[in-house]
């Protein structure tokens, strides 16, 4: 009896000691590696905007680095298994804001074409917002906006599912706008107000009045006059022209994809509205 009682006591004590709760450490989504890369992209973008009016080389370097990191954060998310909804939104918002800020500058640098740049900003924002909203409301729970079925659109399916295609279109789209940005500092054909020769300030491009005094240009280092003087013959336009010409067809293709995305997402939402209205009509009929 003593032996059996002892064994019961031991078993009881074992039972009492068993239920020890093991708490898993709470993850901090905001400090995931891909999100840290996203924050760094934001910093680079802000720095590029600071240098954008007066320092085209520095701005282009910072802006291009931010764009290249857009591909690296996705690779980091998959490698470290740290894919999050916050990271997806951070990436998308950074992309939209970065491109929009550059297009705003181009609209001011080329006022004749400002309506075109304003239209590109509107198309980019509207297309991605409606597509994201349609995916959240009409798609399956947890479905990514990049999961587009071929039955809905083979173009969007290829664009989002093939990483090489996605990177090529995004990279060359940005490259075209960077090329235009550099041309605003170097090409008198696109910017006729550029000074032709820094050694001869009286020599101006076609359509420009008599050269203003330099003291008038620099009444404020951040004035429009200072920007015009900084843009004057800042660099050779050969490389920017090559970049712009090579990337132009892909940029046009990217805008066509934005239009397709906008139309398909709108139709998807309209289909959902029709089904919802039919459901409410059936309830009333019953």
pLDDT (tens digit per residue) in 72-106 = 998 999 999 999 989 999 999 999 999 999 999 99
Distance between CA atoms of residues 237 and 145, nearest Å? 39
The predicted pLDDT at position 105 comes to 95
The domain total for the chain is 1
239-253 pLDDT tens trace: 999 999 999 999 999
- Return the DSSP state at 31: G
The predicted pLDDT at position 6 comes to 44
Give the range of the structural domain holding residue 62, as residue numbers without chain letter: 29-121
Domain annotation covers residue 78: yes
Cβ-contact 196, 205 below 8 angstroms: yes
Domain annotation covers residue 206: no
Which positions are annotated as active-site residues? Answer: 95
Domain annotation covers residue 111: yes
Domain annotation covers residue 98: yes
Nearest 10 degrees: Cα torsion 116, 118, 120, 121: 170
Cβ-contact 3, 56 below 8 angstroms: no
Report DSSP letters for 112-170, one per residue.
GGHHHHHHHHHHHHHHHHHHHHHHHHHS-TT--TT---TTT-HHHHHHHH-HHHHHHHH
The predicted pLDDT at position 213 comes to 54
The predicted pLDDT at position 29 comes to 92
| Two structure tokens written together for 264 | 């398909």
In three-state form (DSSP H/G/I as H, E/B as E, the rest C), the secondary structure along 45-79 is: HHHHHHHCCCCHHHHHHHHHHHHHHHHHHHHHHHH
Cβ-contact 59, 66 below 8 angstroms: no
Chain-centroid distance, C-alpha 1: 77
| Two structure tokens written together for 213 | 């005094």
Q: Which residues of the chain have pLDDT under 70?
A: 1-24, 141-142, 192-234
Domain annotation covers residue 279: no
Domain annotation covers residue 87: yes
24-52 pLDDT tens trace: 678 899 999 999 999 999 999 999 999 99
Domain annotation covers residue 129: no
Distance between CA atoms of residues 97 and 87, nearest Å? 15
């Amino acid at each position: 009896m003593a032996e059996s009682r002892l064994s019961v006591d031991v078993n009881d004590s074992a039972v009492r000691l068993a239920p020890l709760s093991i708490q898993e450490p709470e993850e901090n989504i905001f400090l995931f590696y891909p999100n840290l890369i996203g924050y760094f992209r934001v910093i680079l973008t802000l720095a590029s905007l600071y240098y954008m009016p007066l320092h085209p080389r520095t701005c282009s370097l910072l802006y291009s680095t931010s764009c290249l990191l857009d591909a690296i954060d996705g690779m980091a998310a998959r490698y470290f298994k740290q894919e999050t909804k916050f990271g997806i939104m951070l990436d998308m918002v950074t992309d939209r804001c970065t491109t929009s800020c550059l297009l705003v500058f181009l609209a001011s640098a080329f006022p004749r074409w400002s309506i075109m740049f304003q239209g590109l900003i509107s198309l980019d924002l509207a297309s991605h917002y409606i597509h994201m909203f349609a995916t959240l409301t009409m798609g399956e729970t947890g479905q990514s906006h990049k999961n587009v079925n071929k039955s809905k659109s083979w173009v969007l399916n290829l664009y989002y599912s093939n990483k090489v295609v996605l990177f090529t279109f995004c990279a060359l789209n940005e490259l075209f706008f960077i090329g235009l940005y550099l041309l605003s500092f170097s090409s008198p054909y696109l910017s006729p107000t550029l000074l032709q020769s820094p050694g001869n300030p009286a020599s101006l491009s076609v359509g420009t009045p008599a050269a203003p005094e330099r003291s008038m240009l620099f009444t404020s280092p951040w004035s429009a006059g200072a920007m015009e003087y900084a843009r004057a013959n800042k660099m050779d336009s050969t490389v920017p022209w090559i970049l712009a010409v090579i990337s132009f067809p892909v940029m046009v293709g990217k805008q066509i994809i934005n239009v397709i995305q906008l139309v398909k997402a709108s139709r998807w939402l309209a289909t959902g509205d029709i089904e919802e209205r039919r459901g409410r009509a059936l309830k009333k009929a019953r």
